[in-house]
Structure 1
Amino acid sequence: MRIPGLFPSSLSPPPLSADDDAAAQEKIPYVLLELKAYVAKRHNATTAFSVTCSGKPIQVTFCPRRPPRVSYLCVHCPDAAEINLEPTVLATDEEFVLLSVTIGAEDEEIGDVDSYMYQADGAAGPSLTLLPRPPSGYYLDASDFGILGYSRGDGKSYIVAGLHRALWGQPAGHFTLCVYNEKDGGGDAGTMAFVDLWRGIIFCDVLPAKDKSIILHYVKLPEPLQENKTLEGDARLYRNIAVIGDRLKYVELQVHYKASVVFKDRFVSNGWMAATWSRPASSLSSDGWHEDNRIMDSRNLKVDNELYFKLLPKVQNDEGYTFPPFMRIDLCQPVLGLGGDGTDIIYFTAKRNRGDANGWVVSVDLENEELLGVALFASQRYIGINFAYMHSRISIHLKSAPGTQGNLKRQGTVLPQSFSKKHSGMDVQSCK
């Protein structure tokens, strides 16, 4: 079956191996979760059910894989043609995944988007909740919205919050804070960090007490590895950030280029360098960054595993010469590993050519300058070099292995509450 609007490969998820099933049973500390979900019916112990905005059934299943293999979600409606674009992961936090699903027949105007919160370990098993829509003029977008999970006396809950630049007609430099809280109340939910990976971080208490104004704090990111670098494009292709333990960790990947000897006025990739920094997560000072590790030249990377060396994508010239690993190939998207064992592991994507249907996810130990793993990644659903996956700790919250069946067919909930919004010019305003 072919559904207009979907990549054909979106209907055929990658098969899970015996190692993937074993990884789910081990509760691995984190996974790499693909940005685009697959539109396919899969059922296992992670499956959760809900309804669309029109009342039709929908289900989501999580398919974990051990990094550097990429995990993914499968979304299914009985009428598969109801989903006319790939469902997209907007954000994750611990057991929560915020997911957007475009609903409607192919000839309908695109824009009927449902947002769901998938929770891996709800009180009665995995759950899927249809969220209310943001106020008119605002959209749940990965670049603006995030999740903050927290614990209450009656269990786990979450906040969805987004910091939007002002709409047309409002002064420049003003922002609107849109907040959805699953539970009523606030004042003790904590702080969210809104990150511009080119520049810095805005820390914001998204649920202050009613009699208190919203306070924002700005922390600048470390200086770029390359001086005078033009800060443009999708910063996620070069930078990543995460909270690991009690520290905020940041990585930058810088690809080296040299002039092509074949094509005039063209440049070819010539290896890469990368560095990580960290700081206390609670610190609000911009001078708190500490450089942890740096690889100046990827040619110095140790590759002790012969299989990994063979798997690494390599390029040959017209004379049949094979370039060393990471030369003449496209590299992008560093993602920090979330292990709390003090290791400094990053993952990134490598492709021989930008238009190739397949790429590779490579894992590297920055501290020991060592290649740790290589895995094939089906990247045909991403045009050229593009952001394709994110780190997530959802794997440690799975209650049972994917291969088992559970009594999970309870209907998900549809939440009636609305988003609230507050405006600011770096102070912030409210909307219900």
Structure 2
Amino acid sequence: MDGLRLRGDIEVTFCTVQPPQVSYLCVHTTATDHTVFAVRPNIVATETDGGLVLLCVAVGDRPSDAMFRHKRHYFVYDASVPELKHIKQPGDDHPVNERSFAIVRKPDRSYVLAAQAGVFFGYRNPSAHLCLYNSGTNSWSKLRVNVDSVPYDEFITYNAFTVGGDKGTVAWVDLSHMIIFCNVLDKRPKLRFLRLPIQPTNAGGLPAVRDVSVLDGFIKMVELQHRANGWKATIWSIKTGIFSKMAWRVDYQFDSSDIPEPSLPKLKLPEGVTAQPTLSTLHIGLPKLSLPDDGILYLLAKIDYRDRQHTAWVLAVDMKNKTVQRVAGFSPKRAIGLCRGYDSSTISKYLKVASGTKEN
């Protein structure tokens, strides 16, 4: 547990708790209550294969205060030490796009936070540049980037991850069509792109049906296809460093009808619901690949995707053996529809069980 005082009587403490099968990263104040936060603190990025977490804490009296840069405080937590560092805030000349943040670890164990600045992609954007924070110098810098090589003017960054290597390759993902790669440690970064294997087959929020990550030297993409009588999940992969759309390969496919109804673990149902749902009748979304690359796919499940009162579940589907390994329930109050609720990270292997937490 590590703490840092932000202002006056406000102290933010970062702690970790790891009950079986799930890990929580918590931010709270020791001198006052949660009302000092303009909005809930959030995890902006995690190191792809390491113990670093970038956290944003917005201090203020109203949710709108979170829109002001000087109200947003950034922290980097190193779970391998453990250590919490309050990093220098980016100035007005570094308008970072939080969705594009990635953490690049350097050989000397220092790190760089890399993010797109403002409107990064756009029609003939002459001022596209990166915002870079260097932990060794505790300073921000800007780096121009040529975006002419990108075939689309419209690019929405849904998430980012670190591919790594000597040049610090970062990938930005537009779940609708493409991944952009950038060597952020180069003095003159150039962009390369990779088209996703197929066009989206479902309307609505793309995070509810798609996810992209890097696992053991491969880029992986998962997509859910919903039908009137169930759903199907497909996982594609391509080796990092290959940029041809034709090189994508299907690793696994799974249909909700593959598992007989009695094989699904019993769910603790909300009051008034008596019939156990099946994989085909549950509302399913937010697919996340297991980072050990073991063929496990995590899915958010609700009886009704609009429900924010009753239990939601995380299903772990074994795509290789076509079984549901485990089911974990949680409050859906922070799960908006089927697009938000949790994220995947390797941070759990660095966490220690907090004092007073019982392991089963």
Q: How would you bin the TM-score normalised by the shorter chain?
A: 0.7 to 0.9
Quick check: 2:121–2:128 contact (8 Å CA) kept in 1? no
Equivalent of 1:132 in 73, 88, 97: 88
SS in 1 for 2:225: strand
Partner of 1:352: 303
Supply the distance in 2 between the matched residues of 1:160 and 1:345 (Cα, whole angstroms): 29
- Residues 251 and 107 of structure 1: CA distance in aligned 2, closer, same or farther (over 3 Å): closer
What does 1:25-40 correspond to in 2, within 5 Å?
none
Please tell me whether residue 220 in structure 1 is matched to residue 195 in structure 2. yes
Supply the distance in 1 between the matched residues of 2:10 and 2:298 (Cα, whole angstroms): 38
Supply the distance in 1 between the matched residues of 2:92 and 2:135 (Cα, whole angstroms): 20
What does 1:145-164 correspond to in 2, within 5 Å?
145-152=101-108, 156-164=109-117
What does 1:303-318 correspond to in 2, within 5 Å?
308-311=264-267
Supply the distance in 2 between the matched residues of 1:92 and 1:215 (Cα, whole angstroms): 24
Quick check: 1:166–1:173 contact (8 Å CA) kept in 2? no
What does 1:141-220 correspond to in 2, within 5 Å?
141-152=97-108, 156-164=109-117, 166=119, 171-172=124-125, 175-184=128-137, 188-209=166-187, 213-220=188-195
Shift of 1:174: 6.3
Shift of 1:89: 0.9
Partner of 1:119: 78
Supply the distance in 2 between the matched residues of 1:275 and 1:127 (Cα, whole angstroms): 39
- Residues 121 and 309 of structure 1: CA distance in aligned 2, closer, same or farther (over 3 Å): closer
Shift of 1:397: 2.2
What does 1:283-362 correspond to in 2, within 5 Å?
283-295=242-254, 297-301=255-259, 308-311=264-267, 322=275, 325-340=278-293, 343-353=294-304, 354-357=306-309, 358-362=311-315
Supply the distance in 1 between the matched residues of 2:58 and 2:240 (Cα, whole angstroms): 36
- Residues 200 and 116 of structure 1: CA distance in aligned 2, closer, same or farther (over 3 Å): same
Shift of 1:366: 1.2
AA in 2 matched with 1:352:
I
Q: Could you list the per-position Cα deviations for residues 15-46 of structure 1 after superposition, in whole angstroms to 9, with x for gaps in the alignment?
A: xxxxxxxxxxxxxxxxxxxxxxxxxxxxxxxx
Partner of 2:219: 248
- Residues 62 and 277 of structure 1: CA distance in aligned 2, closer, same or farther (over 3 Å): same
Aligned-CA RMSD value: 3.3
AA in 1 matched with 2:12:
I
Supply the distance in 2 between the matched residues of 1:253 and 1:336 (Cα, whole angstroms): 12
Supply the distance in 2 between the matched residues of 1:170 and 1:290 (Cα, whole angstroms): 32
Shift of 1:204: 0.5
AA in 1 matched with 2:206:
A
Supply the distance in 2 between the matched residues of 1:271 and 1:313 (Cα, whole angstroms): 20
Shift of 1:148: 2.0
Shift of 1:256: 1.5
AA in 2 matched with 1:89:
I
Count of matched residue pairs: 323
Q: Could you list the per-position Cα deviations for residues 288-339 of structure 1 after superposition, in whole angstroms to 9, with x for gaps in the alignment?
A: 21110112x301125675xx5311869999xx8x475134432110000011
SS in 2 for 1:392: coil
- Residues 107 and 166 of structure 1: CA distance in aligned 2, closer, same or farther (over 3 Å): closer
Shift of 1:102: 1.2
* Structure 1 unmatched runs, 5+: 1-46, 258-269, 406-432
Structure 1 moving runs of 4+ over 6 Å: 167-170, 312-317
Equivalent of 1:86 in 35, 40, 56: 40
Q: Could you list the per-position Cα deviations for residues 368-389 of structure 1 after superposition, in whole angstroms to 9, with x for gaps in the alignment?
A: 2211111101111334333121
AA in 2 matched with 1:278:
S
AA in 2 matched with 1:57:
E
Equivalent of 1:365 in 310, 314, 318: 318
Supply the distance in 2 between the matched residues of 1:288 and 1:314 (Cα, whole angstroms): 45
Q: Could you list the per-position Cα deviations for residues 353-406 of structure 1 after superposition, in whole angstroms to 9, with x for gaps in the alignment?
A: 2123221111101122211111101111334333121111112223x432379x
TM-score of the pair, normalised by structure 1:
0.66
Quick check: 2:95–2:118 contact (8 Å CA) kept in 1? no
Supply the distance in 1 between the matched residues of 2:261 and 2:76 (Cα, whole angstroms): 41
- Residues 172 and 315 of structure 1: CA distance in aligned 2, closer, same or farther (over 3 Å): farther
TM-score of the pair, normalised by structure 2:
0.78
Paired-residue identity, %: 28
AA in 2 matched with 1:309:
P
- Residues 315 and 189 of structure 1: CA distance in aligned 2, closer, same or farther (over 3 Å): farther
SS in 2 for 1:380: helix
Higher relative contact order (CA 8 A, sep 6+): 1
Higher Cα Rg, which structure = 1
* Structure 2 unmatched runs, 5+: 142-164
Partner of 1:401: 353
Please tell me whether residue 75 in structure 1 is matched to residue 30 in structure 2. no
SS in 2 for 1:151: coil
Supply the distance in 2 between the matched residues of 1:235 and 1:284 (Cα, whole angstroms): 22
Quick check: 1:49–1:59 contact (8 Å CA) kept in 2? yes
